[in-house]
Amino acid sequence: MSSYTVRSWVTIGLFGALWGAVEIVLGSYLHLILPPQADTFLAGVLLGAIGVAVALTGRHFVPNRGSVFFIGVVTALLKLLSPGGVTIGPIVAILAEGTLMEATLWIARTPRLWTFMVSGALTVAWNLPHKFVMMRLLFGKGFTEVFNKMVKDGSQALGLDVSAAWLILGILLLVRLIVGAIGGWIAWKLGSAVARRLGLQNLFAS
């Protein structure tokens, strides 16, 4: 923490505000116009990818360890403090995304294009188990029973094998991994482009 200067915290605040603005404005709008079922399949993926792009771009300007996590914390707090945005699900999702991005960058150690892409992919992929984790947390062990029964009954009604549910989950996960990787790629390019525009030295120039 001692390596963080006032400028580092200001930049973390700026990128937290950018991600927060997207979550509050676009998030509220998407949750209003889309049915709740679309939260997992569309709104969450889109917001996750934009969040990845914003937070990882922030890493270009605050290369300190932990900066992406702190950007996530600031975003979650903005969501918490925003009127009408006080729901536990998105706040936990933002914190988990910040943690995942930071963990991936920490493991990779040296920032590279591929680390940004892997970080983005894993972060947006979290969007899929997030719904189940939150439901399990909120509803308790009864949720697991309901979920298993719904998968069985649903596959019977559609005339599909239960393993088809795993295939569908696999496809949903793959889509998230691809979208997240694109988010990471955008962050890498965007950070370099902004640094060039401002005449700053690009810390991650490869």
Partner 1 sequence: MEIGQRGGASAGVTEPVRELSPWGYLLFAIWAALATVLVEGRWLAAPLLLELGFGLVWGRDGLRILRRPRFWIFILSAAVVGPFLIGDPDVTLGPFHLSREGLAAGLEMAGRASTLTLAFRLGPAALSLSDVVAVFDHLGLRGLGFATALAMNLLGTLREMAAMTWQTIWLRGGMRRPLVALRLFLITTIANTLRYGDEAVNAATVRGFDLDVGRPSALPLRRADLWLAVELAGCGLLLLVLHLLPDTSV
By the criterion CB under 8 A, which residues form the site for partner 1?
A: 1, 4, 6-18, 20-21, 24-25, 57, 61, 70, 73-75, 77-78, 80-81, 86, 88, 137-140, 142-143, 145-146, 149-150, 153, 190, 193-194, 197-198
Minimal distance, residue 61 CB to partner 1, in Å: 7
To partner 1, the closest distance from the beta carbon of 57 in angstroms equals 6
The whole-angstrom separation of Cα 109 and Cα 159 is 48
CA–CA gap between residue 12 and residue 58 (Å, rounded): 7
Instruction: Please report how close the Cβ of residue 113 comes to partner 1 at its closest, in angstroms.
Output: 17
Instruction: Give me the least distance between CB of 35 and partner 1, in Å please.
Output: 11
Query: Any idea which residue has 């810390």 for tokens?
Result: 203
CB-nearer residue toward partner 1: 81 or 162: 81
Q: Do the Cβ atoms of 38 and 127 come closer than 8 Å? A: no
Which CB, 142 or 159, lies closer to partner 1? 142
Write the burial class of residue 205 (CB in 10 Å: 0-12 exposed, 13-18 middle, 19+ buried).
exposed
> Which residues are CB-neighbours of 23 under 8 A, at least 6 positions away?
47, 51, 75, 78, 79, 85, 90, 94
Of 35 and 109, the one with the shorter C-beta distance to partner 1 is: 35
Judged by beta carbon, residue 110 or residue 205, the one nearer partner 1 is 205
Distance separating alpha carbons of residues 68 and 135, to the nearest angstrom? 26
